[in-house]
Amino acid sequence: MTQPTATGPHPLARLGVIVVAAGRGERLGASVPKAFTSIGGRSLLEHALCTVASLPGGGQLVLVVPQDRAAEVLELVAASPAEAHGWHVAVVAGGRERHESVRFGIEALVPSIDTVLVHDAARPLTSGALFARVAAEVHRTGEAVVPGSPVADTLKRVTADGIVQETVSRADLVAVQTPQGFPRELLEAAHAGLGARGSAHALPTDDAEVVQLAGGHVRVVPGELRAHKLTTAADAALLEALWQASVGRADSTGAARDGEDR
Ligand code: CTP
Ligand code: MG
Residue 261 inside a domain? The answer is no
Tell me if 107 is assigned to some domain.
yes
Ligand 1: residue of 34, 37, 118 to mutate (most ligand atoms within 8 A of CB) is 34
Q: Judge if the beta carbon of residue 95 lies within 6 A of ligand 1.
A: yes
Number of structural domains in the chain: 1
Does any domain span residue 83? yes
- Is 159 contained in some domain? no
User: Which CATH number goes with the domain that contains 214?
Assistant: 3.90.550.10
- Parallel, antiparallel, or unpaired: how do β-strands 42-43 and 38-39 relate? antiparallel
Taking the centre of ligand 2 as the mean of its atom positions, its distance from the CA of residue 57, in whole angstroms, is 31
Q: Is 137 in the pocket of ligand 1 (CB under 6 A)?
A: no
Residue 28 in domain: yes
Q: Is residue 78 part of a domain?
A: yes
pLDDT tens string for the chain (262 positions)? 555 444 555 556 699 999 999 999 999 999 999 999 999 999 999 999 999 999 999 999 999 999 999 999 999 999 999 999 999 999 999 999 999 999 999 999 999 999 999 999 999 999 999 999 999 999 999 999 999 999 999 999 999 999 999 999 999 999 999 999 999 999 999 999 887 665 556 788 899 999 999 999 999 999 999 999 999 999 999 999 999 998 877 777 655 444 444 4
In a domain, 228, yes or no: yes
Q: 3 lies in a domain?
A: no
Mutate which of 32, 98, 191 to test ligand 1's pocket (most atoms within 8 Å of Cβ)? 98
85 lines ligand 1 (CB under 6 A): no
Beta carbon of 120 within 6 Å of any ligand 1 atom: yes
pTM of the model: 0.92
Q: Which domain holds residue 227?
A: 12-151+173-249
Instruction: Dump the DSSP string for the chain.
Output: -----SS-S-TT--EEEEEE-----TTTT-SS-GGGSEETTEEHHHHHHHHHHTSTT-EEEEEEE-GGGHHHHHHHHHHSSTGGGTEEEEEEE--SSHHHHHHHHHHT--TT--EEEEEETT-TT--HHHHHHHHHHHHHHSSEEEEEEE--S-EEEE-TTS-EEEEEP-TT-EEE-S-EEEEHHHHHHHHHHHHHHTTSSPPPSSHHHHHHHTT--EEEEE--GGG----SHHHHHHHHHHHHHHHHHHHHHT--TTTTT-
Q: Is the CB of 22 under 6 A from ligand 1?
A: yes
Distance 260 CA to ligand 1 centre (A): 27
> What is the DSSP code string of 186-239?
HHHHHHHHHHHHTTSSPPPSSHHHHHHHTT--EEEEE--GGG----SHHHHHHH
- Considering only CA atoms, which of 19, 64, 187 is closest in space to residue 114? 187
